Structure formats: structure tokens, C-alpha cells
Amino acid sequence: MVLRWYTVVIDCHDVRKQAAWWAEAFGWKTIIETDDECVNVPGWVEQDSFQDMPWERIGPGMVFVPVPEGKTVKNRLHLDFAPHTSQDRDAEIARLEALGATRVDVGQPEGPSWTVLADPEGNEFCVLSSRDF
């Protein structure tokens, strides 16, 4: 038996705004949108495409749920993203910043091969160096 990574759940104040931000950042689409939950999936995903795909090969989505408290400390778990080697990493970081991401210092060393950013509600994530796979 194999479990499948089903979703990443992001606690936030404004689920619609956060879901829209991440959908724009990834080119994903929001398939459920209420005040209590928003769900994003990759932009290429169509409901029918899951029918022929093995369960364990379907990638995770993102779920946004409301919480009353604000973020107070560095995330214990964060997501790493990488552009393809055919993409301009610095341009991608600039695009994310133009959408509202901010650079943050979480104690990373000087000159790492990654850049730490935070989404509009302060959730940290990293943009790594370009990768082939």
C-alpha cells in the first residue's frame, strides 16, 4: 500500500486572497472557493485526467483554510520551488515580488543558492537554483 501526498494546507486570514495569490504564482487554478476553504490544483489538471492516472502518481494540491491567529514565528515546514534551467531565476523572483512576495531573513547563510521569500501573509518559501528535473 502507498499513501499519496494529497495536499499542502495553508492556514491564513483571507483564504480567497491567498488562494488567488498562489494560483497566480504557479499558474494553477482554484477549483473550490468559499470563505471556509479554497483549493488550488495545477492549471493543466482536468477532473477527467485523474481517471486514467495511478493514484500514487497524482501530485498534491494546495488547500487554504481560515485561522483566527496571526503568524508569529518562522515556519517549521516550508516549500522549495525551482525554475527550470531554461528559465530566468532572477526574473521569476522579481515576478513573485511584483505579485506581493517579500524577501525575508530566516537566518540563512550569506550567498546561498536559494532565496527565501514570504507570501502576502508571511509564509516562507524558497526559490532554489534552476534545475533540469
Residue among 85, 76, 49, 43 nearest 62 (CA): 43
Question: Pick the residue with more confidence: 111 or 13?
Answer: 13
Terminus-to-terminus CA distance in the chain, angstroms? 26
Average predicted confidence (pLDDT) for the chain: 90
In DSSP terms, which residues pair with 130 in a beta bridge?
none
Domains 7-66 and 79-127 agree in fold? yes
Residue extents of the structural domains in the chain? 7-66, 79-127
> Could you tell me which CATH number the domain at 79-127 has?
3.30.720
pTM above 0.95, yes or no: no
How sure is the predictor about 47, in pLDDT bands with cuts at 50, 70 and 90? low
Q: Given its phi and psi angles, is residue 10 left (phi above 0), alpha (psi -120 to 50 degrees) or beta?
A: beta
The second-level CATH assignment, the architecture, of 7-66 is 2-Layer Sandwich (3.30)
